[in-house]
């Protein structure tokens, strides 16, 4: 499986969360950690970790384990 990074605009679009809420969840350990890209201010998230986080939310809301 090939790793793929997604940037903040796509994370916002896919999750429906605001930028500030994403960072709040991330700092509390409830959202995947971002990965520094190129050592600068640019960050991204692993596509697979965002998908997994979303699946977990769906399963929790449906009462599945």
Condensed to tens digits (0 to 9), the pLDDT of residues 8-60 reads 999 999 999 999 999 999 999 999 999 999 888 899 999 999 999 999 999 99
Q: Residue 23 and residue 33: Cα distance in Å, rounded?
A: 9
* Residue 60 tokens, joined: 């929790």
* Residue 41 tokens, joined: 């201010």
Q: How far apart are the first and last CA of the chain?
A: 25
Does the model's pTM come out above 0.85?
yes
Residue-number span of the structural domain to which 10 is assigned: 5-61
Of 46, 42, 43, 17, the closest CA to residue 32 belongs to 46
Q: Residue 61 and residue 23: Cα distance in Å, rounded?
A: 22
Q: H or E segment at 34? A: none
Number of domains in the chain: 1
């Amino acid at each position: 499986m090939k790793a793929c990074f997604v940037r903040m605009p796509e994370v916002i679009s896919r999750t429906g969360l605001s930028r500030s809420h994403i960072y709040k969840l991330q700092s509390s350990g409830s959202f995947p950690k971002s990965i520094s890209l190129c050592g600068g201010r640019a960050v991204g998230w692993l596509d697979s970790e965002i998908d997994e986080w979303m699946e977990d939310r769906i399963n929790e809301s449906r009462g599945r384990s």
